[in-house]
Structure 1
Amino acid sequence: MRALLLLILTLGTGLHAAPNILLIVADDQRPDTVHALGNALIETPTLDRLAASGTSFSRAYAGYPICHVSRAQILTGNPAFKALPKYPAGAIDPRLATLGGTLQKAGYHTCYTGKWHNDGHPTQRGYTATSGLYSSGGGKGATQPDVDDRGRPLTGYRGWTFKDENNQAELDKGVGLQRDNSRHIADGAIHAIQTAPKDRPLFLHVNFAFPHDPRQWPEGMKDRYAAAKMVLPANFAPQHPFDHGNINGRDELLLPTPRTESAVREELAIYYAMITDLDAQLGRILAALPAPEETIIIFTSDQGLALGSHGLLGKQNEYEHSIRSPMIICGPGLPKGERSAALVNLNDIFPTLCELAGVPVPATVQSKSLAPLLRHQTERVHEFVTGVFTDTQRMICDERWKLVLYPKAGREQLFDLQKDPDELHDLSADAAHANKRDELKARLAEWRREQGDPDLAKSAVPR
């Protein structure tokens, strides 16, 4: 049976063998933090090589800018309302096919490495094995730092530990988000590559925990970036003008309000160092691949982060810096060194990998394959994309315009992303753009009805 599945995969792809697949997901990495894609200050030589080897998508949307929900969407190929029956919390819908499970049934050896932020265990979601697993629990009784490098309270990843293949905590690697976290995750990925069965293609899903807070200098990178030289975002502001739905959330309390330029520059310096460290560890993983040129490689992040943009710090918002993620796709026979501004979703990764590997897409998957974009068979797969956060935010945008509703705040925003990519000018009250605002509002309402948005009935925004 396994040999038959491999033969089907081989015929489906037109390759001599089913391709290995490497999916890398960073944690809270802004879409504007890759040197080759326009950030002159940050050092990302590995990501730069990937960008030169594949297609970079400048408008990849997370859908829901929170770790566990975004990852549930990637795992199931569905929007949040479908992926999580008890949205926005709870378990992934067990009736849905998962990416790991689909590739496993198609003959792949499926391995999960790094951060697991969903219910259960990776082996319950279609992964044959784990290596370098990093998840909550296991640190009871162990000591953990209480403050970060600048003496601020350590709040993220309390009690998280690395786990061995028997799910036992490896306390020698520390508790919480330690400065060598990315190295341990890379070690696990490399071990998975080296020990993978040779008679099956490999699907390796690597989830880094950097550059999520608590932000601290990675090993050997103290002061790699000088805070005084950091460039503030073009949309930096001391504070957000209203409660967008998370104004008192944990992420927003990491720095005092109003934000100061010096404090945000310090935050950016460590954030950039964490990304550069992640980039170096990704380079180690790519070097361990037996045939990287014959491997399908996707790099992305679960969402972006504000870090001073619009007066915010966290990711729980619908602005482009947070709801978008970097995304690069490389693979045998795919274009090199290309950039696409097409609208795409992170949950499109599931059907894209299926199509590129010659695996049928399960019927439960709602998202769309990006393979036609990669192969220049079409210029778009989505007319619009959406964003959601709790019952406080709903967003829709097309290739030019974005509408954001804030039901609890009684506010809305309309941005012309073509003329105003930094989202500095809200046009929602401008009579000249009322038709576009109402058109997007109607389209968003229709999408919410189709998806079964549980908050649709109570989310009208008064005018």
Structure 2
Amino acid sequence: MKHVLSLMAASLVSMQAAEKPNILFIFADDLAYDCVGAYGNKEVKTPNLDKLSASGTQFTYAYNSGAWHGAVCVASRTMLMTGKQIWNAKTTKLGDHAGAGKFWPQRMNKAGYTTYFAGKWHVGSASLPKQVFNHVRNVRGGMPNQTKERYNRNFTPGQDDWSPFDKSKQGFWKGGKHWSEVLADDATSFFKQVQSDEKPFFMALCFNAPHDPRQAPESYQKMYPYKNITVPSSYMDLYPHEIGSNRIRDEKLGPFPRTKYSVQVNRSEYFALISHMDTQIGRILDELEKSGKADKTIIIFSADHGLACGHHGLLGKQNMYDHSVRVPWIISGPGIPKGKSVDAPIYLQDAMATSLALAGAESDGVEFKSVIPVIKGDGAREQIYSCYTNHQRMIRVGEYKLISYPRIEVEKLFNIKADPFEEKDLAKDPEQAPRIKQLRTQLLDEMKRMNDPMAVTDATGRKGSLSRKK
């Protein structure tokens, strides 16, 4: 009798596992929302991501809620893996969190999933992936190794001796094979494993691309001749305000003041690496099909943050403009509407909460939300918050976005729908004064809710206040 009951219990567990969708999470690094074809960019070629978007639902306004230092990816990925919002993520003791089984893959594993990881990590110790995932291959650091040649580059036409496809410079070529291709190889290995596993899988495949040094094979670089690249309409020679990130590492990838040619070069190599990554994503999706698991798999694609790459006189991601805090966010698979676009704002880290909901996994302490109700028209957020160190704060409510620089007492106001590239600052318009006052109040309230340290005392020493100057 005990044997029969055991068989029945095992059968029930197997049935329950079979009803859970597989979750394939694909993550890029430094990918701005407006640098994917499906998001309206007609210059960059991303046929596989475009196809993925058409097969599912894309979120137009997916945001990262900030960073506590210049490596924005650390905060973004820590939030993603712990489920904690920005300032709570900063104070989370990662070892204890893993010990309690609260990391994203651990929650999925408890829900009956076999978990897999390969690619960029950058959340605490490099040994953590092997503690929290069942299967791990090729864990990469924060970024490919840098070279003096890339930083000392001559951005004069005809005098530039840097080659993004020169393998001797290492970077993405370190080890002999491009890291994006290695990640696709790792995915192939994983999909061979899942074929013989009756459990559903949770797989996180995290690219270092299109982070600098932006290196792609020659055939991809030739797709984007420097002189043909469009310079953003928001181009400036220099950003006019000191915002705590004007001279950080990312910004040194071009000359000061900027030149339009240097922006064309940076964007050309950015697009080439994006297109090369897109090809590897196509390989990954092909391997998913070959595994026989595609019709039971939810795919989520996003990135840890965006990148200025020539907008507003900036090159990096340490700012509050949409090109840097906003990312592509696509979900596709069984039960997901096809060809749908959702304008309701989300946090990119909602990917974690979404997968937990789909898996029936426990979500106690998770501070993000599933997007499934939002797709159906319910549960949209009223506001979005973001931050950068103690230099910048941002809130978006409806169509309007307020950027605050507390240390220099400057504010900027944009209508995101009417002015998507944030070129028309409305902060000096007297008619906007009541709106700015209201947004400032909402920002302060959100800062307090987020346990933002600046909600206690700002840079001027005033408790619970932000800048008044324009």
TM superposition score normalised by structure 2? 0.85
CA distance in 2, matches of 1:144, 1:367: 34
Q: Using a 3 Å threshold, how does the CA distance of structure 1 residues 236 and 208 change in structure 2: closer, same or farther?
A: same
SS in 2 for 1:258: coil
CA distance in 2, matches of 1:56, 1:106: 27
The structure 1 residue matched to 2:189, chosen from 188, 191, 201, is: 191
SS in 1 for 2:35: coil
Q: What's the counterpart of residue 381 of structure 1?
A: 380
CA distance in 2, matches of 1:195, 1:340: 35
Q: What's the counterpart of residue 458 of structure 1?
A: 458
- State the 1:354 CA deviation: 1.3
2:324 is aligned with 1:319: no
- State the 1:393 CA deviation: 0.7
| Number of residues of Structure 1 aligned to a counterpart in Structure 2 | 434
Q: What's the counterpart of residue 113 of structure 1?
A: 118
- State the 1:124 CA deviation: 5.6
2:367 is aligned with 1:366: yes
CA distance in 1, matches of 2:401, 2:146: 43
- The amino acid across from 2:451 in the alignment is G
Q: Which runs of no fewer than 5 residues in structure 2 stay unpaired? A: 1-5, 154-159, 460-465
CA distance in 1, matches of 2:135, 2:170: 19
Q: What's the counterpart of residue 174 of structure 2?
A: 174
Q: Using a 3 Å threshold, how does the CA distance of structure 1 residues 92 and 387 change in structure 2: closer, same or farther?
A: farther
Q: What's the counterpart of residue 209 of structure 1?
A: 208
Structure 1 runs (4+) deviating above 3 angstroms are: 1-11, 90-93, 122-125, 143-146, 148-154, 159-162
- State the 1:243 CA deviation: 1.1
- The amino acid across from 2:102 in the alignment is A
CA distance in 1, matches of 2:36, 2:324: 15
SS in 2 for 1:313: coil
* Aligned partners of 2:18 and 2:199 also within 8 Å: no
Q: Deviations over 1:333-360 (max 9, x none)?
A: 1100111111100121111111122323
- State the 1:314 CA deviation: 0.1
Q: Deviations over 1:120-177 (max 9, x none)?
A: 234366211212322369x9xxx986534955699xxxx9999xxxxxxxxxx726xx
Q: What's the counterpart of residue 103 of structure 1?
A: 108
- The amino acid across from 1:373 in the alignment is V
Q: What's the counterpart of residue 134 of structure 1?
A: 140
CA distance in 2, matches of 1:399, 1:4: 50
SS in 1 for 2:221: coil
- State the 1:186 CA deviation: 1.1
- The amino acid across from 1:430 in the alignment is D
2:342 is aligned with 1:340: yes
Q: What's the counterpart of residue 27 of structure 1?
A: 29
SS in 1 for 2:149: coil
Q: What's the counterpart of residue 267 of structure 2?
A: 268
> Structure 1 residues 425-434 or 295-304, which shifts more?
425-434
Matches within 5 A, 1:211-290: 211-218=210-217, 220-289=219-288, 290=291
The structure 2 residue matched to 1:84, chosen from 72, 75, 90, is: 90
CA distance in 2, matches of 1:238, 1:7: 64
CA distance in 2, matches of 1:3, 1:227: 65
- State the 1:188 CA deviation: 1.1
> Structure 1 residues 295-304 or 426-435, which shifts more?
426-435
CA distance in 2, matches of 1:180, 1:96: 34
SS in 2 for 1:300: strand
* Aligned partners of 1:179 and 1:218 also within 8 Å: no
Q: What's the counterpart of residue 462 of structure 2?
A: none
Q: What's the counterpart of residue 354 of structure 1?
A: 356
- The amino acid across from 1:130 in the alignment is V
CA distance in 2, matches of 1:144, 1:421: 33
- State the 1:268 CA deviation: 0.9
Q: Using a 3 Å threshold, how does the CA distance of structure 1 residues 412 and 2 change in structure 2: closer, same or farther?
A: farther
* Aligned partners of 2:146 and 2:171 also within 8 Å: no
Q: Deviations over 1:369-415 (max 9, x none)?
A: 101122x142x521001111111111100220101111112211111
Matches within 5 A, 1:304-315: 304-315=306-317
Q: Using a 3 Å threshold, how does the CA distance of structure 1 residues 76 and 253 change in structure 2: closer, same or farther?
A: same
- State the 1:73 CA deviation: 1.1
- State the 1:108 CA deviation: 0.8
CA distance in 2, matches of 1:136, 1:427: 37
Q: What's the counterpart of residue 463 of structure 2?
A: none
* Aligned partners of 1:179 and 1:216 also within 8 Å: no
- State the 1:96 CA deviation: 8.1
CA distance in 1, matches of 2:95, 2:117: 17
* Aligned partners of 2:111 and 2:359 also within 8 Å: no
Matches within 5 A, 1:156-171: none
2:303 is aligned with 1:301: yes
CA distance in 1, matches of 2:7, 2:79: 29
CA distance in 2, matches of 1:341, 1:318: 19
* Aligned partners of 1:133 and 1:188 also within 8 Å: no
Aligned-residue Cα RMSD (Å) equals 2.9
Quote the sequence identity (%).
34
Q: Using a 3 Å threshold, how does the CA distance of structure 1 residues 253 and 419 change in structure 2: closer, same or farther?
A: same
- The amino acid across from 1:253 in the alignment is K
- State the 1:278 CA deviation: 0.3
- The amino acid across from 1:397 in the alignment is R
- The amino acid across from 2:279 in the alignment is A
Q: Using a 3 Å threshold, how does the CA distance of structure 1 residues 160 and 130 change in structure 2: closer, same or farther?
A: farther
- The amino acid across from 1:445 in the alignment is L
* Aligned partners of 1:26 and 1:209 also within 8 Å: yes
- State the 1:7 CA deviation: 4.8
Q: Deviations over 1:400-442 (max 9, x none)?
A: 0101111112211111112222111222232211111111111
* Aligned partners of 1:414 and 1:426 also within 8 Å: yes
> Structure 1 residues 97-106 or 116-125, which shifts more?
116-125
CA distance in 2, matches of 1:265, 1:35: 18
Q: Which runs of no fewer than 5 residues in structure 1 stay unpaired? A: 163-172
Q: Which structure shows the higher helix fraction?
A: 2
Q: What's the counterpart of residue 170 of structure 1?
A: none
CA distance in 2, matches of 1:224, 1:109: 39
CA distance in 1, matches of 2:9, 2:35: 43
SS in 2 for 1:147: helix
- The amino acid across from 1:306 in the alignment is A
Q: What's the counterpart of residue 63 of structure 1?
A: 65
* Aligned partners of 2:59 and 2:341 also within 8 Å: yes
TM superposition score normalised by structure 1? 0.87
Q: What's the counterpart of residue 165 of structure 1?
A: none
